[in-house]
C-alpha cells in the first residue's frame, strides 16, 4: 500500500505519528493509498523551520520573488496533464474539469508575477515642513492554509501563491482525501526556485488544524470548507489574535426571467448544476423560474439534456460529463437527501439514485437528479447537498424570486438570466450575495479581482486572491520622516540596475 507523507524543508518525508487516513479512488471505491497524519511535534517542527526560512525570503526583494512565480507558472503549464491526472485519481472529476481546476489556480500564480506593483505603498511629499509621509506593506511572517477536497489544485494555489508572494512562509494543510496534488505542486515550486522551508505541506486531521490555530507563530489562517467548520476556525483563530478568512457553504440560486433565452439558461444550468458532480461551492443548486410558463419551459428543456449526461470514471474518456462523489459517506448523504425530497412532496423528475456502472459497482456514483415544485421548507432546499441534484423552486414574480435569494442564509454566488438590462441591474444592486452573474451561471471572478461570499458563506472581512489577498497577507507600516541635514556632495555616473 502506497504511503503519502509530508513536504518539509524542500523534500518528501515520511510521517512518524503512526496515524494514517485512507485515500480512496472514488471511481472504484478502493483504497489506493494511506496518508500520514501529523503529530503535534511534527507540526511544531514544520512551523519552527518555516519561521527560520521566512526571514530570508521576506527580505528577498519583490522582483526576485516574482521571478520564482514566473518559473512556477511555466512549470505548472508544462506539467498540466500530470497535475490533472493527480486531481482526477483522488477526487474523481473528469480530466477536462481537472485541467480547469489547475488552470484557475495557475491564473492566481500569474497575477503574483506582478507582485512588485501589488506591494507598493503610498507616499506624500512635504506632508509638513520638511516632513515626508509614506507607508509600506510588510509580510506577516508564517501563515497557514487549510484547503478542501473539491479543488485539490486551485484552492491550494489560491492560498499559497499570494501568501508566499507577499514574503510569508506558509504551512499548507490540504484535504487528507486528496493530498497528492498539493505535494506535487510543492515539488514544482522548489524546482522554480522557492527556498526550502518557505512552503511546508503538512497532512493531518483536526489535531493539525487546532495546532495551527493555537500556534503563536502562525499569524493568519485561510480556510475553505463547510460553514460549521469555517465558523469554528474563524472563532478560534480570532480568539488567538490571528487574521482569518474562512469560506463556508453555499446554496446558489439562478433566476430565469420570462424574457430569458430558455435554451441558453438550460445549458447553463446543466453545467453549473451537474459539473464536478455538484461538488463546487459555486454550483447552482436552485433554479428559480419566474412564472408558471417559464418554469414549464425550463423543466422541459432540462429533461432531455439531463438524460444525455454521461457519468463514469475519468479514465473512460474526455466525453464523460461528471464522475463519482468523493466518499461513500458523501454518496449516502446525498441519497438520503434525495429520499427526503421525495418524502416531503417535491416532484422527482429525474431520479439518479439507482445509477450503477458495470465494472464500477463499488464506486461512489450518484446520477443527475432533478426536482420540481421544491419549497423553501424542504431539506433539499435548506441544506447544501454538494451533489448532482438540481431543485426547481417556482416563483410567481421577480420580487418573490429575488426575496428567496435575499432570505437564504448563504450568500456565495447567484445568477440571473434575462434579456432586460434594467432587471439585471436591479438584481445586481439589491441582492445580498458576494458574487453575481448576469447571463453567466458560475460567476467566479477572474484572478485580478477577488473571490468571496456574504452571510454564512464567509467569515472575515477580506476575500481570496486579487488585491484583497495582498492586503490580508501583509500589514501596513506608516512612517513619518524629517531630515535636518543638507544635501550631501557626490555623484554616481553609472546606471546600476536594481537587484
User: Domains in the chain, start-ordered, CATH in brackets?
Assistant: 2-248+457-480 (3.40.605.10), 252-438 (3.40.309.10)
Q: What is the pLDDT of residue 128?
A: 86
pLDDT at 493 over 80: no
Residue 490 pLDDT greater than 90, yes or no: no
Average pLDDT, the chain: 96
Give the C-alpha separation, 222 to 464, whole Å: 9
Handedness of CA 135, 139, 143, 147 (dihedral sign): positive
Q: How confident is the model at residue 76 (pLDDT cuts 50, 70, 90)?
A: very high
End-to-end Cα separation, the chain, in angstroms: 48
Q: Please state, in angstroms and as integers, the Cα–Cα distance from residue 77 to each residue in 99, 110, 317, 495, following that order.
A: 10, 11, 21, 36
Instruction: Please say if the pLDDT value at position 345 is more than 90.
Output: yes
Residues 6+ apart with CB under 8 A from 50: 142, 169, 170, 171, 197, 198, 200, 217
Residue 468's pLDDT band (boundaries 50, 70, 90)? very high
Q: Residue 52 pLDDT > 90, yes or no? A: yes
Residue 129: its pLDDT value, please?
A: 86
At CB < 8 A and 24+ separation, what contacts does 55-64 make?
A: 56/195, 57/164, 57/167, 57/168, 57/169, 57/195, 57/198, 58/138, 58/139, 58/141, 58/167, 58/168, 60/167, 61/498, 61/499, 62/115, 62/116, 62/119, 63/116, 63/498, 63/499, 64/499
**What is the pLDDT, as a whole number, of residue 496?**
65
Distances (CA, A) of 246 to 233, 273, 407: 7, 24, 22
**Three-class SS of residue 96?**
helix
Asked if the model's pLDDT at residue 224 lies above 80, the reply is: yes
Tell me: the pLDDT tens digits for 253-303? 999 999 999 999 999 999 999 999 999 999 999 999 999 999 999 999 999
Amino acid 382: pLDDT: 97
pLDDT on residue 497: 66
Q: What is the Cα–Cα distance from 209 to 211, expressed in whole angstroms?
A: 5
Model confidence pLDDT, tens digit, residues 397-433: 999 999 999 999 999 999 999 999 999 999 999 999 9
Closest C-alpha to 97, from 84, 108, 107: 84
Residues 150, 324: Cα–Cα separation, whole Å? 12
Burial (CB count <10 Å: 0-12, 13-18, 19+), residue 357 = middle
Q: Is 281 a catalytic residue?
A: yes
Per-residue confidence (pLDDT) for residue 498, from 0 to 100? 58
Looking at residue 434, what is its pLDDT? Answer: 97
Q: Would you place residue 97 in the very low, low, confident or very high pLDDT band (cuts 50, 70, 90)?
A: very high
pTM: 0.94
HSE (side-chain half, CA atoms, 13 Å) at 411: 18
Of the candidates 112, 178, 246, 281, the residue annotated as catalytic is 281
Least-confidence region, from 44-53, 103-112, 114-123, 174-183: 114-123
Determine the average pLDDT of the residues in 330-340. 98
User: What pLDDT, in 10s, does the model give residues 199-214?
Assistant: 999 999 999 999 999 9
Q: Is the pLDDT of residue 470 over 70?
A: yes
- C-alpha triplet 394, 398, 400: angle, nearest 5°: 60
Measured CA to CA, the distance from residue 336 to residue 340 in angstroms comes to: 6
Indicate if the pLDDT at residue 171 is higher than 80.
Answer: yes
Q: Classify the phi-psi angles of 494: left when phi > 0, otherwise alpha if psi is within -120 to 50, otherwise beta.
A: beta
- The span from the CA of 174 to the CA of 147, in Å, is 5
Count Cα atoms within 13 angstroms, Cβ side, for 26.
Answer: 32
> Does residue 485 surpass a pLDDT of 70?
no
| Mean pLDDT on 183-198 | 98
Cell of 332: 449516502
The residues, any chain, with a CB within 8 Å of residue 96's CB and separated by 6 or more, are 318
Determine which helix (DSSP H) or strand (DSSP E) holds 265, and give its type and residue range. helix 262-274
H helix runs in 308-443, sequence order: 328-343, 379-382, 398-407, 421-430
Fill in the DSSP letter of residue 446.
Answer: P
Nearest alpha carbon to residue 427 among 408, 403, 407: 403
For residue 112, the surrounding DSSP H or E stretch is helix 95-112
Amino acid at each position: 500500500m502506497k504511503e503519502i507523507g509530508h513536504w518539509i524543508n524542500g523534500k518528501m518525508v515520511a510521517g512518524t505519528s503512526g496515524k494514517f487516513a485512507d485515500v480512496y479512488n472514488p471511481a472504484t471505491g478502493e483504497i489506493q493509498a494511506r496518508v500520514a497524519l501529523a503529530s503535534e511535534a511534527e507540526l511544531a517542527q514544520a512551523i519552527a523551520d518555516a519561521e527560520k526560512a521566512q526571514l530570508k525570503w521576506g527580505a528577498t526583494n519583490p522582483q526576485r520573488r516574482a521571478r520564482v512565480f514566473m518559473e512556477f507558472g511555466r512549470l505548472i503549464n508544462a506539467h498540466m496533464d500530470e497535475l490533472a491526472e493527480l486531481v482526477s485519481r483522488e477526487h474523481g472529476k473528469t480530466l477536462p474539469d481537472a485541467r480547469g481546476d489547475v488552470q484557475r489556480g495557475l491564473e492566481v500564480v500569474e497575477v503574483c508575477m506582478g507582485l512588485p506593483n501589488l506591494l507598493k505603498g503610498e507616499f506624500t511629499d512635504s506632508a509638513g515642513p520638511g516632513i515626508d509621509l509614506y507607508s509600506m506593506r510588510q509580510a506577516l511572517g508564517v501563515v497557514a492554509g487549510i484547503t478542501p477536497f473539491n479543488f485539490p489544485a486551485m484552492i491550494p494555489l489560491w492560498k499559497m501563491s499570494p501568501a508566499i508572494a507577499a514574503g510569508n512562509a506558509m504551512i499548507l494543510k490540504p484535504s487528507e482525501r486528496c493530498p497528492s496534488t498539493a505535494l506535487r505542486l510543492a515539488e514544482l515550486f522548489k524546482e522554480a526556485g522557492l527556498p526550502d522551508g518557505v512552503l511546508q505541506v503538512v497532512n493531518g486531521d483536526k489535531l493539525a488544524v487546532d495546532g495551527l490555530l493555537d500556534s503563536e507563530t502562525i499569524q493568519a489562517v485561510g480556510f475553505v470548507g463547510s460553514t460549521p467548520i469555517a465558523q469554528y476556525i474563524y472563532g478560534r483563530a480570532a480568539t488567538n489574535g490571528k487574521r482569518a478568512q474562512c469560506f463556508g457553504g453555499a446554496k446558489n440560486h439562478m433566476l430565469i426571467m420570462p424574457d430569458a433565452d430558455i435554451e441558453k439558461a438550460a445549458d447553463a444550468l446543466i453545467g453549473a448544476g451537474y459539473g464536478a458532480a455538484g461538488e463546487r461551492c459555486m454550483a447552482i443548486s436552485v433554479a428559480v423560474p419566474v412564472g408558471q410558463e417559464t418554469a414549464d419551459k425550463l423543466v422541459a428543456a432540462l429533461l432531455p439534456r439531463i438524460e444525455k449526461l454521461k457519468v463514469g470514471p475519468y479514465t473512460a474518456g474526455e466525453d464523460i460529463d461528471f464522475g463519482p462523489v468523493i466518499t461513500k459517506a458523501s454518496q449516502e448523504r446525498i441519497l438520503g437527501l434525495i429520499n427526503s425530497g421525495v418524502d416531503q412532496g417535491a416532484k422527482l423528475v429525474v431520479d439518479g439514485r439507482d445509477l450503477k456502472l458495470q465494472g464500477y459497482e463499488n464506486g461512489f456514483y450518484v446520477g443527475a437528479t432533478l426536482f420540481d415544485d421544491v419549497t423553501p421548507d424542504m431539506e433539499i432546499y435548506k441544506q447544501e447537498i454538494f451533489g448532482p441534484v438540481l431543485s426547481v423552486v417556482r416563483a410567481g414574480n421577480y420580487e418573490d424570486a429575488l426575496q428567496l435569494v435575499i432570505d437564504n442564509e448563504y450568500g456565495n454566488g447567484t445568477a440571473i438570466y434575462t434579456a432586460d438590462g434594467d432587471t439585471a441591474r436591479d438584481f445586481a444592486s439589491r441582492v445580498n450575495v458576494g458574487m453575481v452573474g448576469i447571463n453567466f451561471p458560475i460567476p467566479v471572478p477572474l484572478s485580478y479581482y477577488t473571490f468571496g461570499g456574504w452571510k454564512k458563506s464567509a467569515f472575515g472581512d477580506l476575500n481570496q486572491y486579487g488585491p484583497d489577498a495582498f492586503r490580508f497577507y501583509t500589514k501596513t507600516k506608516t512612517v513619518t520622516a524629517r531630515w535636518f541635514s543638507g544635501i550631501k556632495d557626490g555623484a554616481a555616473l553609472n546606471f546600476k540596475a536594481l537587484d
